[in-house]
Amino acid sequence: MMSELKEVRIDKWLCAVRIFKTRSLAARALTGGKIKLNGAAAKPNKTIKPGDLISMKKEGRTLEYHVTGLIDRRVSAKLAVENYSLTVDADLPETMRELTQIFHELDKTQRRRGKPTKKERRQIDRLMKDED
């Protein structure tokens, strides 16, 4: 089934790889212009193929999915991740991406939400100055 497909509707694929819980949620996001396919706004009936780039913003972060495989039916999470590679904060430079990743990991461990405190901002600024 997976290798036979040449093209798949983008809304079906987004649901099949578990980026959205339902196909209608994926279609709503596509219709609202929240998702871009190869840099241009995409509609639910647009077809994708391996090598395409799907980008979206979620919770203030930019997510880029590089399509590596095509499926049209929802599969387990283990099988779903084999059909794409994910880049988080793709719009940021590599050094800033690393800092953001560290901050998010610290945020998870401390169970704190929101913007950095004054102390944390100063630490981030010091890290950024050290890299220059």
**pLDDT tens per residue across span 8-22:** 999 999 999 999 999
Domain presence at residue 16 = yes
Q: Average model confidence (pLDDT) for the chain?
A: 85
- Domain span at residue 123 reads 94-131
Domain presence at residue 62 = yes
Is 60 exceeded by the pLDDT of residue 41? yes
Of the candidates 38, 46, 40, 39, the one whose C-alpha atom is nearest the C-alpha of residue 10 is 46
Give pTM, 2 decimals. 0.69
Domain presence at residue 107 = yes
Is 60 exceeded by the pLDDT of residue 1? no
> Edge-to-edge strands of the sheet including 35-37?
40-41, 35-37, 53-58, 61-67, 84-88
Which pLDDT score is estimated for 113?
67
Which pLDDT score is estimated for 2?
46
Of the candidates 57, 88, 69, the one whose C-alpha atom is nearest the C-alpha of residue 3 is 69
**Does residue 84 sit in the same domain as residue 105?**
no
Q: DSSP secondary-structure letter at 116? A: P
